Amino acid sequence: MAKETRIISVANRKGGVGKSIVTILLAVALARHKKKRVLILDCDNQGSIAEMYQNEIDLMGEEYEPAIEVEEITARKVQTFLKRFGQDYDLIFVDIPRMTDNKKDNATVMLLYNCDSILMPVIGSEVDVLSSLDFLAIIEEAAEFKEEVGEKLTYYGFINRRNLRKTNDLAEEAMRKQGLKMFKNSLADLKIYTLPSFFTSVMETAEGLRRFEGFYKEFCRKFKL
């Protein structure tokens, strides 16, 4: 029998914290370096990942094959999709949209209940931290529920764009205090991350390897991949 498919989300309720970019970086790295069959489910109805994916495929031409697959899908269809096609992949990353609603956004929150792993990008402005705290409460609730039904939800946070703001250190401290386990490695604000490829991993260049490997390895270790 095939090993169980892992369902992962790089998630936060806040927009623009790097959910989609980091999803692509990790998904492609796992496909290229660990030979995993990887799918990204793009649940953001703005379809940014799906659009980037199609653009690069058009650019590369038919000779080349992307390292991963991307499927655009509405949040409410995800559970059925996973039941039907989940076993075709080793890893499925679920890219969630920002939660515009102040209250819990049900369709998006539901997506988290499908996951076994959540990685939360944190950026250090005051607003971002408050919103990250709200989101942490949502994850904790999901983790508690999953435990009740005998499943596990592993979650960690990390600081994205570390060098951009001094307040990132404060944010890290604030999240830790609230009980969120934080990665030792963070990601710097770098040009190499702004337009990740679906064909080659960021670690296939010397700079990418130097900058991303620590974070990637910690990701694999902490989430047992």
Ligand X SMILES: Nc1ncnc2c1ncn2[C@@H]1O[C@H](COP(=O)(O)OP(=O)(O)OP(=O)(O)O)[C@@H](O)[C@H]1O
Please, which residues have CB within 8 angstroms of residue 219's CB and are 6 or more apart in sequence?
Answer: 26, 119, 183, 225
CA distance 98 to 215: 23
CA distance 43 to 150: 26
Of 89-108, which residues contact ligand X (CB under 6 A)? Answer: 98
CA distance 200 to 212: 14
CA distance 174 to 116: 24
> Is 19 a binder of ligand X (CB under 6 A)?
yes
Interface with Mg ion by CB under 5 A: which residues?
19-20
- Residue 17 contacts which entry, ligand X, Mg ion, none (Cβ below 5-8 A, type-dependent): ligand X
Tell me the two tokens of residue 183. Answer: 């990665």
DSSP 187: B
Instruction: Please choose, out of 19-27, 55-63, 102-110, 148-156, the segment that lies near ligand X by the rule CB under 6 A.
Output: 19-27
* x/- track of binding to ligand X for residues 149-188 (CB under 6 A): -----------xx-------------------------x-
| Nearest-5° Cα angle at 20, 17 to 23 | 115
CB 19 to Mg ion: min, Å? 5
* x/- track of binding to ligand X for residues 29-58 (CB under 6 A): ---------------x--------------
Number of residues that bind ligand X (CB under 6 A): 16
> Is 18 a binder of ligand X (CB under 6 A)?
yes
The binding site for ligand X (CB under 6 A) comprises: 15-21, 44, 98, 160-161, 187, 189-190, 193-194
